[in-house]
Amino acid sequence: MASSSSSYNVYIPNDVTPTAETKVKLADQILVSPLILGTWAWGEEKQWGWNADLDAKAKEAFDMSISKGINTFDTAEVYGNGESERCIARYKSNQPVAGTENIVIATKFLPLPYKFAYPSSLINALRASLEKLKVECVDLYQIHGPIHLRSIEVVANALAEAVKLGLTKTVGVSNYSTADTIKMYDCLQKHGIQLASNQVEYSLLRRVPETSGLIAACHQRNIAVLGYSPLAMGRLTGKYSKANPPPAGRKFSDVSLDELEPLLESMRSIANSHKVSVSSVALNYVICKGVIPLGGARDGKQAEQNAGALGWRLSNEEIQQLESHPITPNLSLFNRFWQHG
C-alpha cells in the first residue's frame, strides 16, 4: 500500500495508507486531515465536567494534534454554550503563526424550531461563532441536526447566503438521512454550491450509515462523510468494561458490555500487532471505510493516541475480524429523534 502526500476527493482510497501528509479535499476547496479533532468536551460542564484543569489539558490536546499534522478541528455553537469555539481561538492564538496557517475550523448551527427566521437566524448565529473563533470566515459551516421546522430548501438558501457573504468557505449537514442529504445537495446545486459533508455517528458500534447506503450515496455526489463518536464515547478505547462501565448519560453507542468485550479483545490483539493503541484501531477502521473520523481528545495523551491511527492501515482480514462480532445498539428515543442518518 502506497503512502502519499497527495490530496484525495471526499475520502482516502482503500489502497492508500493515511498519513498526516495525506489530505482529503471537501467541496473541491478545503483540505482536511484524514483525522479530525472533535471538541464537544471542551467547555462542556454538564456532560464532561469542564473546569480550569481540563482547559489546560485541552490545550495540550490542541498542541499535540497540530504537532502530529492534524490540522482540522470540529466544534459547534452549542458546545459548552460557545466555550468550545472560544477555546479553539485561545489555543490557536498561543501557537506560532506559521503553525496555524493551514488550520481548518468547522462549526455548526443548531436549528432549534424557534429559530424560524431564515436566513437571518443562521447568519446571525454564524457571525456570533466567527466572533468567538476570532476569524472572519469559517472553513465549514454545518447544520447540526435535522430538527428545523423550515424546509430543507429554505435552510439551503440560508447556507448559500452564508457562502455568498464570504462568512464560510463550504457548507455541510449533520445527522441527515440519505434522502434529506440528497435534497440538500440538489437545493445547493441550484446556487452552484457543492454540499461538502454530512456528519453522522459512525463506528464499529454503529455502522448504520454504511449498511443503509448513506455513505455510498454521499460519495457518489462528492459529499464527504464525517464520523462523530468514532470511539463510541470511550467504549472503543478499551478503558471500560462490565466491571468499570462508562459514566451515565453517554447516549451514543450504548451497547451491551457483554457484547462489547469480545470485540475489544480483537481490537487489543490487532493493536498489539501494529504497536498502536486500541483507540488507534477504532479510528483507523473508520478511515478504512471511507469516513473521516472526528476523534475527541481531552488531553495530550489522548490526542497522541488518536494520531496513532495514521501511518498504517488495517488489512481486509483484520476488518473482517472486527466486523465478525455481533453488536446490538440500544436505540433511545433521543437517538431516533436526533439521528436520521
Active site residue ranges:
79
Contact 63, 95 (CB under 8 A): yes
Task: Please tell me the distance from the alpha carbon of residue 98 to that of residue 102, in angstroms, as a whole number.
Answer: 9
Q: Which of 113, 58, 65, 64 is nearest to 80 (CA)?
A: 58
Tell me 28's DSSP state: T
Tell me 329's DSSP state: -
Residue 112 phi/psi, 5-degree rounding, is -55, 150
Q: Which of 325, 340, 339, 341 is nearest to 215 (CA)?
A: 341
Contact 224, 11 (CB under 8 A): yes
Contact 236, 185 (CB under 8 A): no
Task: Please tell me the distance from the alpha carbon of residue 160 to that of residue 27, in angstroms, as a whole number.
Answer: 13
Task: Please tell me the distance from the alpha carbon of residue 65 to that of residue 42, in angstroms, as a whole number.
Answer: 15
The amino acid at residue 152 is I
